[in-house]
Amino acid sequence: MSIRKIVTFTEDVLIEGGREVAPSARVAVVAAIVKNPWAGQGFVEDLSAGIDANASDIGALLAPRVLEALGAPAQAYGKAAIVGLNGEIEHGSGLIHTLAFGNHFRDAANATTLLPAVEKRGPAGVVFDIPLKHITDATIRSHHQSIEVRINDAPHADEIVIALAAASQGRPQQRLAAFATETK
Amino acid sequence: MSDQGCGIRKIVYYSEEFLLENGSAPAVPAVRATAAAVVANPWLGGKPSDDLSAEVVQFAPVLARKLTDVLIAGLGGVDAIQAFGKAAIVGTGGEIEHGAALIHTPFFGNLVREYFEGESIICFADDRGDAGSTLVVPLWHKNAAATRSHYQTITTRIGDAPLPGEIVVVLGASTGPRPHSRIGDRLTDPIVKADTLGELIS
């Protein structure tokens, strides 16, 4: 695993809709900018060796960091893989869509649901949104949210940005009906 | 004063830790960070001749305290912080002078120096822009501004700020020099003048 840079990002919302948010709502993101394990190899049919060599290590690195940055129990979470311009979307997907990656976060957060994800390709400085859902019940509508991230100099063409996001609570001023209640 | 009382809508922290630069680990590791507060512009709708000082005294010290607290916590203490810088992005409903008012007076700068235990003038960037504008925040050494190894920048951006009636106030800091800094210093520079360079620029 070759990591060039680690980015930590937190956003605290204190006012939304002109009203105080108490306690303030925090979303934390930690991203590792890693070398694409398949860079320069052309079309690699079997990605399993690169996944096995990297995905678990990256998950183990990011999970404790994002929970530390959150500074509170995670109530919602999500993940991201942003592939540099020389790579395949499948490369980023390979690193995050494996239990070897996600279980580090799931176990550390006492979570049970699937991690919602964004996978895209872009240049350094690309803006991406990480979707987050509740850690134990993905139908809890109050916790559907997303966080916008941008890293000025990443990903390089042969890099992948791998990120985890965690939220301390649901959306600020959330007040929608619970899932499926509108059809009763 | 509470954060809400100061009109702070959002506080954003961003840090970058360099593990590799050009393929190898920096001999002197460093983490760069920004802390940004999104505040309501207290001077909206005013005239260019308005006196800004009352709101400066009321708000700037609170922002200095809040942003230094965030960076000190994020970077591992005052002693870890070697370089600093500041910035303001004014929303499109405001004057450039409104951002300047919040960061270019002793009510902000002196307190940042005091909390960071620094003595240098604080380098800066001011701009006006829409939500999502990026701004490059310059940093230099908190006690010896001419220390060339510590000339560095960090880019700040908040996706939904500043709204037209807001100001984003940013404080930046670094725990060390640029990765692989190796371009000498004022003490090691040769004398460089146009006529000593000869044909290169003739």
On whether any CB of chain A is under 8 Å from the CB of B155, the answer is: yes
* Residue ranges of chain B with per-residue pLDDT less than 70: 1-5
Closest CA in chain B for residue A149: B159
pLDDT at A44 over 80: yes
Contacts of B123 (CB under 8 A, 6+ apart): B85, B86, B138, B139, B140, B145
Nearest chain A residue to B160 by CA distance is A148
Q: B157 — contact with chain A (CB < 8 Å)? A: yes
**Residue A172 has what pLDDT?**
97
Nearest-neighbour CA in chain B from A47: distance (Å): 24
The whole-angstrom distance between A183's CA and the closest CA on chain B is 33
Residue of A nearest to B22 (CA): A4
The answer to whether residue A62 scores a pLDDT higher than 50 is yes
Cross-chain residue pair A152–B160, CB shorter than 8 Å: no
A158 vs B: CB within 8 A: no
CB contact under 8 A, B157 and A150: yes
Which residues of chain B does A171 touch, with a Cβ-Cβ cutoff of 8 Å?
Answer: none
CB contact B26 to A (< 8 Å): no
Distance of residue A52 Cα from the nearest chain B Cα, in angstroms: 22
| Residues 93-132, chain A, touching B (beta carbon < 8 A) | 127
At residue B128, the pLDDT reads: 98
d(CA B167, CA A137): 38
The alpha carbon of residue A60 and the mean position of all alpha carbons in its chain are separated, in whole angstroms, by 14
Q: What angle do CA B94, B152, A122 make, to 5 degrees?
A: 75
Contact yes or no for B15 and A9 at CB 8 A:
yes
Q: By CA distance, what is B70's nearest residue in A?
A: A10
**Around A8, how many Cα atoms within 13 Å sit in the side-chain half-sphere?**
26
For tokens 């600093």, name the residue. B84
Answer whether A8 sits within 8 Å of B15, measured CB to CB: yes
Of B8, B18, B19, the CB nearest to A14: B8
Buried b (16+ CB within 10 A) or exposed e, B19-33: beeeeeebeeebbbb
Of B13, B19, B157, the CB nearest to A10: B13
> What was the pLDDT predicted at A179?
87
Q: Measured between alpha carbons, how far is A160 from A92 in angstroms, rounded to an integer? A: 7
A and B: number of Cβ contacts within 8 A: 65
Question: What local confidence, expressed as pLDDT, does residue B1 receive?
Answer: 45
What ipTM describes this predicted complex?
0.94
Taking the complete model, does pTM exceed 0.90, yes or no? Answer: yes
Nearest chain A residue to B30, by CA: A5
A63-109 confidence digits (pLDDT tens): 999 999 999 999 999 999 999 999 999 999 999 999 999 999 999 99
Between CA B17 and CA A7 the distance in angstroms is 6
**pLDDT tens-digit series, residues A101-157:** 999 999 999 999 999 999 999 999 999 999 999 999 999 999 999 999 999 999 999
What value does the mean pLDDT of chain A take?
97
- What is the 3 state secondary structure string of chain A? CCEEEEEEEEEEEEEECCEEEEEEEEEEEEEEEEECCCCCCCCCCCCHHHHHHHHHHHHHHHHHHHHHHHCCCCCEEEEEEEECCCCCHHHHHHHHCCHHHHHHHHHHCCCCCCCCEEEEECCCCCEEEEEEEECCCCCCHHHCEEEEEECCCCCCCCEEEEEEEEECCCCCCCCCCCCCHHHC
C-alpha B126/C-alpha B70 separation (Å) is 21
**B20 and A2: CB-CB below 8 Å?**
yes
B46 at the A interface (CB within 8 A)?
Answer: no
The residues near B22 (Cβ < 8 Å, ≥ 6 apart) are B180
In chain A, which residues have their Cβ closer than 8 Å to the Cβ of B12? Answer: 9-12
